[in-house]
Amino acid sequence: MAIATTPLVSLALPEKGAARLATQLLLAIGGTLLLTLSAKTRVLLGPVDISMQTLAVFLISAAFGMRLGVATLLLYMAEGAMGLPVFQGTPEKGIGIAYMLGSTGGYLAGFVVMAAIVGWAADRGWDRHPVKLFNAILVAEIVMMAMGFAWLALLIGPEKSWQFGVVPFIVGDLIKVGLAASLVPAVWSLLKRS
């Protein structure tokens, strides 16, 4: 089976027409459900709870490609902006735009950029090579963390932002980067064998 350099999800999409659009819409909605579930799934690693959300963003964008991946993240942000409790701290710490402009605002915006970077790499076939995918995901992670750090620094200052918004997440996020960079190429490998 010859596999072109298209994202993984392209194997399941109808070629064109209303069926393709409907399938993409269902995938985007399913992606937002996965993002919500991953936001609510917390792993205790040190002094902070770490969600599985960045792992979900990596996997969705690597599987969906840039356009559908970014569209999924924008739909997720729209759900949150409308007040749906889709984010990690919602509804306990607020909902809607007010929550999005709070301490996690930069990270949330960074998720969209992260999806664009990883999706772009997947569109070019990097999702079949663990090292290339690892590098793309690592760059995406660094950009997202930089955006989160910068936003948080405006709210609480750079020293506290680094101490509470970056350092506690480094180990956990590096594990998620490695996991995503291994899983997606493994799926491609399995598909090539069948």
pLDDT in tens, 145-157: 999 999 999 999 9
Q: Is the pLDDT of residue 5 over 60?
A: yes
Q: Using 50, 70 and 90 to split pLDDT, how confident is the model at 2? A: very low
For residue range 106-119, list pLDDT tens digits in order.
999 999 999 999 99
Pairing of strands 42-45, 48-51: antiparallel
Give this prediction's pTM: 0.91
pLDDT tens, position by position, 70-118? 999 999 999 999 999 999 888 988 899 999 999 999 999 999 999 999 9
pLDDT value at residue 132:
97
- Return the CATH class of domain 8-193: mainly alpha
Overall average pLDDT of the 155-177 stretch = 93
The one-letter code for the residue type at 96 is G
pLDDT of residue 42: 82
Sign of CA dihedral 17, 23, 24, 26: positive
Residues 6+ away with beta carbon under 8 Å from 119: 7, 61, 62, 64, 65, 66, 67, 68, 69, 70
Which residues touch 60 (CB under 8 Å, ≥6 apart)?
31, 34, 35, 69, 72, 73, 115
**pLDDT averaged over every residue in the chain:** 91
